[in-house]
Structure 1
Amino acid sequence: MKRILSLLIFLIIANVSAQSDAEMLKTIYTQSLTNGKSYSWLDYLSNQIGGRLSGSLSAERAVAYTKEELDSLGLDKVWLQPVMVPKWVRGNKEYAFLESSSGSTSTVNICALGGSIATPIGGLKAAVIEVQGIEEMKALGKEAVSGKIVFFNRAMQPEIIQTFEAYGGCADQRYSGAMEAGKLGAVGVIVRSLNLRLDDFPHTGSMTYGNLPISQRIPSAAISTNDAEKLSTMLTLDKNTKFFFNQTCRQLDDVESHNVIGEITGSEFPNEYIIVGGHLDSWDLGDGSHDDGAGVVQSMDVLRLLKESGYKPKRSIRVVLFMNEENGLRGALKYAEVAKQKGENHIFSLESDSGGFTPRGFDFECDDAFMTKIEGWKNLFKPYLIHHFEKGYSGADVAPLKTANNVSAGLRPDSQRYFDHHHAATDLFEHVNKRELELGAATMASLVYLIDKYGI
Structure 2
Amino acid sequence: MIPFFSRWQAALGFALLSATAPAAAQTTAKTDSINIRKIYDQALLHGESYENLRQLTGKIGGRLSGSPQAQQAVDWGKVTMEKLGLDRVYLQEVMVPHWVRGAKEKAQIKPAKGKGIDLNVCALGGSVGTNGKLRAGVVEIDTWAELEAMPAEKVKGKFVFFNRPMNPTFIETGRAYGDAGDQRRRGAIEAAKKGAVGALVRSLSLAHDDFPHTGTMAYDEKVTKVPAAALSTNGADELSHLLKADPGLTVELEMACQQLPEVKSFNVVGEIKGSKYPDEIITVGGHLDSWDLAQGAHDDGTGCVQSMEVLRLLKATGLRPERTVRAVLFMNEENGTRGGNKYAELAKAAGEKHVAAMESDGGGFTPRGFGVEGDPAVVAKVQQWSPLFVPYHSEEISVGHGGTDIGPLKGQVKALIGYECDDQRYFDIHHTAADTFDKVNRRELELGGASMASLIYLISKYGL
Aligned to 1:73: 84
Q: How does 1:302-451 map to 2 (within 5 A)?
A: 302-403=310-411, 406-451=414-459
Aligned to 1:259: 267
Matched, 1:244 2:252: yes
Aligned to 1:4: none
DSSP-derived class of the 1:169 partner: helix
DSSP-derived class of the 1:406 partner: strand
1:196-243 alpha-carbon deviations (Å, 9 max, x no partner): 010000000000102235xx1110000000010000000011111111
Q: How does 1:40-439 map to 2 (within 5 A)?
A: 40-121=51-132, 123-213=133-223, 216-403=224-411, 406-439=414-447
Q: TM-score, normalized by length of structure 1?
A: 0.96
The CA deviation at 1:404 is: 7.3
The CA deviation at 1:115 is: 0.2
CA contact under 8 A between 2:353 and 2:413: conserved in structure 1? no
**Superposed structure 1 runs of 4+ greater than 6 Å apart:** none
CA contact under 8 A between 2:354 and 2:412: conserved in structure 1? no
Cα separation, partners in 2 of 1:189 and 1:298, compared to 1, 3 Å: same
Cα separation, partners in 2 of 1:9 and 1:433, compared to 1, 3 Å: closer
DSSP-derived class of the 1:125 partner: strand
State the one-letter code of the partner of 1:209.
Y
Cα RMSD over matched residues?
1.4
The CA deviation at 1:103 is: 4.3
DSSP-derived class of the 1:356 partner: coil
Structure 1 window deviating more from structure 2 (423-432 vs 178-187): it is: 178-187
CA contact under 8 A between 1:133 and 1:173: conserved in structure 2? no
State the one-letter code of the partner of 1:174.
R
DSSP-derived class of the 1:306 partner: helix
Cα separation, partners in 2 of 1:65 and 1:404, compared to 1, 3 Å: closer
The CA deviation at 1:64 is: 0.3
1:306-349 alpha-carbon deviations (Å, 9 max, x no partner): 00010121111100100000000000000000111100111100
Aligned to 1:12: 23
The CA deviation at 1:136 is: 1.9
Structure 1 window deviating more from structure 2 (181-190 vs 319-328): it is: 181-190
Aligned to 2:8: none
Aligned-partner Cα distance in 1 for 2:380–2:89:
35
The CA deviation at 1:13 is: 0.6
CA contact under 8 A between 2:357 and 2:413: conserved in structure 1? no
CA contact under 8 A between 2:269 and 2:328: conserved in structure 1? yes
Aligned to 1:5: none
CA contact under 8 A between 1:354 and 1:411: conserved in structure 2? yes
Cα separation, partners in 2 of 1:12 and 1:41, compared to 1, 3 Å: same
The CA deviation at 1:9 is: 11
1:394-426 alpha-carbon deviations (Å, 9 max, x no partner): 100001001176111000000100001100001
State the one-letter code of the partner of 2:345.
E
Aligned-partner Cα distance in 1 for 2:222–2:259:
15
Aligned-partner Cα distance in 2 for 1:136–1:409:
38
State the one-letter code of the partner of 2:93.
P
1:146-168 alpha-carbon deviations (Å, 9 max, x no partner): 11100000000111110000001
Cα separation, partners in 2 of 1:211 and 1:369, compared to 1, 3 Å: same
Matched residue count: 447
Aligned-partner Cα distance in 2 for 1:9–1:363:
29
State the one-letter code of the partner of 2:199.
V
State the one-letter code of the partner of 2:407.
A
Unaligned runs of 5+ in 2: 1-18
Q: TM-score, normalized by length of structure 2?
A: 0.95
Aligned-partner Cα distance in 1 for 2:451–2:328:
17
CA contact under 8 A between 2:365 and 2:444: conserved in structure 1? yes
